[in-house]
Amino acid sequence: GTGATDDGAGCAIALEAVRILKTLDLKMDRTVRIALWSGEEQGLFGSRGYVRSHFGNPVSMRLRPEHARLSGYFNVDNGGGKIRGVYAQGNEAVRPIFRRWLEPFADLGAETLTAANTGGTDHIPFDSIGLPGFQFIQDPIDYMARTHHTTADVSDRIQADDLKQAAVIIAAFIYNTAMMDEKLPRKPGTTPAERPAPSRPAEPRPAE
């Protein structure tokens, strides 16, 4: 189809979240960037390239200055359904923070926090280099059953009220992240000092 739920919906949600923040003229303490990635289906090329250019090499863990400044990255790429919560990506330190941020949206059905990860989308390159990257849990509706990578992925499958709900919640998460005194906590073992040094091949032994 035309890629309406994968991932035109996510692009529309992200744009609307930023429009909400701009319309409210909220003065935030941190810079907010919006990214609409290319090459996700081919191997996360857009987000991987961005991470390498701005934050560092996830293989060597040679980091750029921006790595220390980023607070968090939020991704929406699981269709056009309502947000039901957040995948914490194994970062238990964010659980109480995200729990507080979700409280105002309980009546909208967004209450779930899980340590689990959903793979295959653009938060993975951020997580791979030790940055707090998160994917939102979304109501699946018929995403995997009918629209994902099929000719049925057209605009008729988009539900406007679900996109509005998601945009409001993401706008709130962005605002809260931008206004924290500290950056979002990072998982243990994800800084260069905490990671073991890459192993080197053994030196060839002299012939005896």
Quickly state the pLDDT bin for 119 (edges 50, 70, 90): confident
d(CA 144, CA 78): 9
- Neighbouring residues of 43: CB distance < 8 A, sequence distance ≥ 6: none
Amino acid at 55: F
**What is the reported pLDDT for 188?**
87
Handedness of CA 78, 147, 162, 20 (dihedral sign): positive
d(CA 182, CA 180): 5
83 or 118: which carries more pLDDT confidence?
83
Strand pairing of 73-75 and 133-138? parallel
- For the stretch 90-107, pLDDT in tens is 999 999 999 999 999 999
Helices (H), 38-119: 40-43, 45-54, 95-102
Q: Are 108 and 156 in contact (CB under 8 A)?
A: no
- For the stretch 131-190, pLDDT in tens is 999 999 999 999 999 999 999 999 999 999 999 999 999 999 999 999 999 999 999 876
Tokens of 70: 């980023």
Query: Which residues, listed in sequence order, are joined to residue 133 by a DSSP beta bridge?
Result: 73
d(CA 153, CA 185): 37
Q: What is the rounded average pLDDT for all residues in the chain? A: 92
CB neighbours (10 Å) of residue 20?
Answer: 18
How many Å separate Cα 79 from the centre of its chain? 14
- Determine the length of the chain: 208
